[in-house]
Structure 1
């Protein structure tokens, strides 16, 4: 019995001395609970909206102030005419526009009813539907307040118009998200085990003494997987078009170029993981745990980023998938070009160069 107790104690000592085991045992559950607890929500908070006020009277100002005071919406822009609505949506920040008809207060007093048009960006159908419901609830509350002391109640009518997804098809949201997840995980995992495989098979020494420069080795590792991932992307796009009837309103060549850029980004991230991993098992674990949860939860694929706590919103900016989903929705559903997507494109290019530079540096360290 003493031998058994001594053996158990030894195992405890081994576990407590291994920091990686302690992180997996205690760190990962804490991280997952925090991520799931704060990121997974069907509510919306601080959604950016714009106002098109044709009336500019006391009633519209009161409604706008009431909407601004809620935690759900943040008024970011005031439009001058209907022509600016689609431009605001194409920029990607504004998720809804409230359009007040002309002589709003006058119609309430003379006709006992007036109309507000709620226009939403339905590329994310769940968010669009929630925005309409929340706005309707705020307007209903305002209507109850102004009807307290009058005999003939005022009626505020709402008209909802959906942009880019009039039928609120959920597939329009899931296709860009699923495409991003597949390309990120498959590409990163394929390359994350490439260099670690060399280490385990003992062929790394051959590469270390070869005349190839570190950058050439990194690019050589990536190029075959670029070809395979491009085939994967083509299959996904074809299935989306012919099976799920996913529209592509924008330029096909821009879509292809942005997809290749994201594939290179994911592959370079996989190479970086492989250079810091001692074994294929470690590389696979980092790829799955370090990429899967952030890509699903913090990319804006399923859950709106604006509803998350500020620290998670900041962290989401370093997730390449976030920027690629914005690009895919912009090209496929909104039909926008590089003039609207240049910032996201530059961010992906910068991230790719950063991952490759760190990978080359890590590889050079092994040479020394």
Structure 2
């Protein structure tokens, strides 16, 4: 009898232990940039925080290879090919409207400020409109201010840039450079090295970190602008069915690490590598950096003005009220972020 009781107790303990082990939720996390890139690093830091905050109940399995090319990442997460990833809204032109607000020129001089302000505006105005319908949004953010890079010559006017061929990443900058009269091709960041090293393209529009991250040793000239020539809008996301299957306790952990927490995490990481690239890779390869003249800045502003009107009309058609006021609030919010 004692043996039976002991055996039963042992079996019960084993079953409970097994149930506890099975209760752990593992998220497949995908990244389409190298593991050393700030996007991959920030995603891993988020996953580490998830495991710590949940006392090990949740963790990530970071896949060795992306489940999709960058433009297909949103659909891959929506459809469950990966549970967690990030993407550039502009990689699928015309799909997202409100997010274009975060891509305009001259917004801010660092990723942290624009990312946190963008997250606040997104939560207040864009999320209720279902801008990223189909996924669970963990956060939105931007990279650092966009810089003009090329291998040929200094660029300090629209005319200078019109003589070169450019790789761009999409979004507002795609429309803006067309109005600027530049010869541009829409390609993901991951193709920049091949395009520039083979001479297919002469230059690229990128945040500062990209020179080091994508090993663009052919770059010799950079033009910086106050607040950047552009920003890129990113969404960090989770498969909604995976989120819905979580317990209330674990959903609360995910929610705690979403929104401004995620925006600050990605923003801080980007600012760190931007600074490192300027003072490291760019100095090492002798990149000549110039500041855009007031005349060049004014040329760009004149081309951008109708795009902001176009965006406001499109956003209001999608349900956003007083789009120009929202844009003004966004710019004011950037100035507040510490």
Q: TM-score, normalized by length of structure 2?
A: 0.27
Query: Which structure would you say has the larger RCO, counting Cα contacts within 8 Å and 6 or more residues apart?
Result: 2
> Which structure: larger Rg?
1
Q: Which has a greater percent of helix?
A: 1
Q: Which has a greater percent of strand?
A: 2
